[in-house]
Every structure is written in structure tokens, then in C-alpha cells.
Amino acid sequence: MGGYRHPVTHPTRIKPAPSTILAIVLGVGVPAAFVGIFFAWPVAAMVGRGLFVDGALDLSGFGDVLARPRTLRLIGRTIGQAALASVVCVVLGLPIAHVLYRLTFRGQRMLRALVVLPFVLPTVVVGVAFRTLLREGGLLGDLHLDGTFTAIVLALVFFNVAVVVRTVGTTWEGLDRRQEEAARVLGAGPVRVWLTVTLPRLAPAITAAASIVFLFCSTAFGVVLVLGGTKFGTIETEIYLLTTQFLDLRGASVLSVTQLLVVVLVLLVAARARGRRTAQRRVSSLQSRRAPRLGDVPTIVVTLLVAAFLALPIAALVLRSLQTADGWGLGNYVALGTTGSRNALVVPVWVALGNSLVIAVQATVIALVIGLAASLVISRRPRSVGLRRSLAGFDAVLMLPLGVSAVTVGFGFLITLNTPPFDLRSSPVLVPIAQALVALPLVVRTILPVLTGIDDRMRESASVLGSPPWRVLRDVDLAIVGRPVLAASGFAFAVALGEFGATSFLSRPDRPTLPVVIFRLIGLPGGDNFGMALAASVVLAAVTVAVIALVERLRVGTMGAF
């Protein structure tokens, strides 16, 4: 044995086939180019406006803008509002995650659907629903919350409690119950077990969820604009106002940069938390769930109360949409065929719905192609540490559109995509592209965990059995990811349908989407306009809910979990 030693300097290597190289180039190149042209460039241009004056670096803009008392107040309120909403979401989300993911009882799926529902509702719809609920003469009008800080925080919680429930719940579902049981046997009381065994294992998921909620809240646009008007703005609505009302592009740009810094920071925290989470060994949910006991009553009560809180604005919206000047009826819905009182709209609402559907389909296709290609590449685990790091970086970049304000993106589009070869300002592709950007991180987060969960040896098995690389991709990766892809498309479609921030910048007056039309209608009250806005909101919500209900049937655990 042994004997002649082969020269180590000339290792024999298996050369990757040209098709493999092509696949990698396409998988990295296409998503990178897309995110580069339609995200990084516009955002960079935005940033440039703030930092450079006549080609020279000039940071005085920051001093000017940030010294304004109004700006400071806005930044403080944005952060305070987001932090408060995040804390409330975590506090309410944990008991609900326990009830919906650790227990098992009849009606649980219905309850889960109800909790997830608000997250996918269009922001404008939620804004309108809360207005309906809280304004004078509304169901909760006596609380005088309309146009207050509390109303905005409530709406943010309404939206984001689902993020905590899903993210923490899917982790919790996979935790082995026997660890808690072992601690109990060793003499720890329930509180101690929760603090010393359960909480530490959930901590990464909680951190990840909280940071994502913070991100969503601090960049919230539609709901704040509808509920707070100009009185209770955030950085995001201020960017919108500075750009569209005061034409102060420099100020808007400085605020965008500030927001970007906060977002990057929060994303780093989230990425860290996600990285640590993978160390947990997951068990099947059959092993972790049990029937409710007496001790679960408090968490069940919290869950039911929150469920009522979530159902209330939706119920108020539907009820109010059926009220017309002449009493109950479908008048508001009939009016959707018109352009509203005082000719508020350019096209009838139904046409806007048609636009929305077409654009959302286009956005879904784009987000899916890009997201799938990117996920396939990111899910690879190359042996080289450097390559692994770059893939992790690529993953983080794809998450960025999630947090960077849609308004910044929309505005960035306007200032960059106006010169050849990308003179797309008046092109109809701009809106779907912007919506696809917003949906992209959700697509990646739904598909990627499933792909990374595939044992590499399964691909190797297929390979050894004679499958060329393209066939391994098709028979293993794509076959397993089929249902999640379907779920992700539904999710992306729902998100695109309700997208308002970027769309409000980019949609052409003659081709508005439904959210844009709703916002326009509540901006011009009087006549049937408010009733029409309500009816349109119900229609938009109904379409979204129908799509999500289909998606829920696929039972893909990773959907909506971060």
C-alpha cells in the first residue's frame, strides 16, 4: 500500500460543466442586476442627492435638515412609535404563538388565518378601516382616538402582530417539549422553566421578529398617511411630503439616508439572530403540540381578545360600506362603476381594480423569477469561506428592499430611470418592477428556508444515480420547493396588490391602481366618495383574502416567517 506519492501541486479536479457555470452566472447575475438597477442605483442616487452638491461632498445638508425641530420631532416619533408597537406586538404575539403553535384544538386553523389576515391587508385598507372605526359616529368614536398617536400605534400592532406570531410560532412548534419536561422533572417550576429553558431557545426568533416589526413600523407609509395626516408624520411620510408638496429633494434625500442607516442597523441585528437560530434541532409538530390545559386559560384569553381586536376594524369597514345616505344598501358598490363625486377619479374604480390585478400578476412573475433564482444560489453551501460569506451578503442585500422605504425607492426611480438606456419614467413596467422589489424579500424568505433545509446528500444521491446537474436541480430542488413557490406567488401577488408607497409615486394618472384610487377618494370627501372608498377597500380586502386563503391551503410553514 502507499508507495508512489502523487504530486500535490497538480491536483486532478473535476471541472464544472459549462452549463453549471452558466447556471451560476444566471442565478447570481440576473437577481444582482435586477436589484442593482432597480434598487441599489435609485437608492444610491437618492443618497447622492443628500451628500453631494455640485459634485462635491457636502454634509451641510444633514446639519440643516436634521437641525430643524420638525425633523427631530419626526425622527423621535418614528422611532418611538415603532419601538412601542414592536414591544406591544411581542407581548401580545408570544401568548398567541403559544396557543396557535403549541396547542391543538378545534378551530385553530380559522384562528390562525384571522391572525395572519391583517398582515396581508393593503395598508390603505387598514388605514380606512381604522378611520371608520374611530371617527365621530364610528363604532369606537366615543374614545376620541381618531388622528391620535394611539390610533397609529394600534394600527401598526394590528398589522404586525402576525409577524411575531408566525416567526416565533414556527420556531416554537419545532422545539422539543422534552427539554421543558426534563427541567420540570429536575425541580423547576413553570415560570422558571419558561425563563430558563423556553425563552432562551425562542430568543433568536423573538429578536428577529421584533427587528422586522420595528422595520415595518418605522417605514410604515400608507397607514400613517391615512390615519395621521400631516399631524402625525414619520420619516417616511415626511419624505413623501418634502418631495411631492415642497419639492425639497435635498431634505427628502437626507431623511432617506438617515432612514437607510437605521434600517441597515436593524437588518444586521435580524441577520445575526437568524444565523443563531439555525443551530436548533427541530422536531415534528406532532411531538411538540398538546391539548389545552387549565394553565393555558390566560394565554387563550389573550388570544381571543386580540382576535376580537383584529376582527373589529374589518367588521366596521364591511358594515359601514353597506351604509349609504339612504340607509343600508349596496349603493357604495354600485358607485364603483363611476368616477366619483366631483369627478375625483380619472377612471372608474372597477377599471382601477383591473389595472391592479394585471400589474400584480406582472409583479408576481418578476418577483418569483428573481427570487427563485437568487434562492437557488444562496442555498448552496460552497466549501470556500469567502464564497459562503459573499452568499450571506447577497442574502442580506435581497432583504434590504423590505426595510428601505418604498417611498425612497419610488422617488429614486423618478430621478434615475429618466435617462437612456433606462428612460422608463412613462413606461408601464415601472410599477410592476417597484412592486416586485417590495415582494422580493418575502418570496426569498418563503423559499430559501425550504431549499437550505434540503440535505446536500439528497442532491448527491440523485447525482450518483446519473442525474446531470440541471436534472438534480429539477428533480430535487424544484420538486421540493414547488408548493412553497406556489405559496410565495400568492403572497407576492397579495403584497403587490396592496402596495401603495412606491406605486403612489409611479402610477400614471390614467392607469391608477386600486390603493391609489382609494387614497384619492378619502382625500376628497364629500358626496359618495368616502362610501366608495369603503366599498373599494372591502373589494380589495376580499380579493387579497381570497388569494391568501388559497395560499393557506398549501400549508407552507415558512410563509410570512422571518
User: Rule CB under 8 A: which residues touch another protein?
Assistant: 1-8, 11-15, 17, 383, 455, 457-458, 460-469, 471-472, 475-476, 479-480, 482
To another protein, the closest distance from the beta carbon of 374 in angstroms equals: 22
For helices 149-173 and 199-218, angle between their N-to-C axes, nearest 10 degrees: 140
> Which string of b and e fits 327-366 if b means at least 16 CB within 10 Å?
eeeebbbebbeebbbeebbeebbebbbebbbebbebbbeb
Q: Which is nearer to another protein, 24 or 524 (CB)?
A: 24
Q: What is the DSSP letter of 329?
A: S
Grid coordinates representing 80 are 418611538
To another protein, the closest distance from the beta carbon of 458 in angstroms equals: 5
Q: Which is nearer to another protein, 230 or 284 (CB)?
A: 284
Q: What is the DSSP letter of 282?
A: P
Q: Which is nearer to another protein, 4 or 328 (CB)?
A: 4
Q: Which is nearer to another protein, 3 or 420 (CB)?
A: 3
In whole angstroms, what is the distance from residue 66 CA to residue 79 CA? Answer: 15
To another protein, the closest distance from the beta carbon of 370 in angstroms equals: 24
The secondary element (H helix, E strand) that includes residue 416 is helix 406-416
Grid coordinates representing 5 are 506519492
To another protein, the closest distance from the beta carbon of 480 in angstroms equals: 6
Q: Which is nearer to another protein, 19 or 419 (CB)?
A: 19
In whole angstroms, what is the distance from residue 396 CA to residue 382 CA? Answer: 17
Is the distance from CB of 145 to CB of 254 less than 8 angstroms? no
Helices (DSSP H) in 102-198: which residue ranges?
108-120, 123-134, 149-173, 177-185, 190-193
To another protein, the closest distance from the beta carbon of 30 in angstroms equals: 25
Q: Which is nearer to another protein, 408 or 558 (CB)?
A: 558
Q: Which is nearer to another protein, 3 or 107 (CB)?
A: 3
In whole angstroms, what is the distance from residue 52 CA to residue 46 CA? Answer: 10
Q: What is the DSSP letter of 141?
A: G
Residue 407: strand, helix, or coil: helix
To another protein, the closest distance from the beta carbon of 410 in angstroms equals: 40
To another protein, the closest distance from the beta carbon of 170 in angstroms equals: 19
Q: Which is nearer to another protein, 11 or 420 (CB)?
A: 11
To another protein, the closest distance from the beta carbon of 423 in angstroms equals: 46
Please state whether the peptide bond connecting residue 313 to the residue before it is cis, i.e. omega within 30 degrees of 0: no
Q: What is the DSSP letter of 490?
A: H
